Amino acid sequence: MPKIIAREGESFQVTLRKFKKSCEKAGLLSDIKKNNYYEKPSVERRRKEKEARRKALKLLRKQNRFNKNF
């Protein structure tokens, strides 16, 4: 759980914004959403393979964008 130390004179809204930002960086919300329901191992495996393919294609597109010969 991320910790935020409120500085003296700092408003609640600023402190809350810092806490939300630290939770986002720690990946808490995505972890909670992922564990919200049971996912069969076969479905989880297929989802991870799909994510890996998408990530590889994205990296390939990024590399091709910078390797064009003009």
Domain boundaries, the chain: 1-37, 38-70
Residue carrying structure tokens 């597109």? 61
Half-sphere exposure of 60 (CA within 13 A, CB side): 6
Query: Alpha-carbon torsion 20, 36, 27, 59, what sign?
Result: negative
Predicted pLDDT of residue 1: 76
Predicted pLDDT of residue 69: 66
Predicted pLDDT of residue 53: 98
Question: Residue 30 corresponds to which tokens in the numbers above?
Answer: 């995505």
Predicted pLDDT of residue 17: 94
| 15-70: pLDDT as tens digits | 999 999 998 888 888 888 888 889 999 999 999 999 999 999 999 998 888 777 65
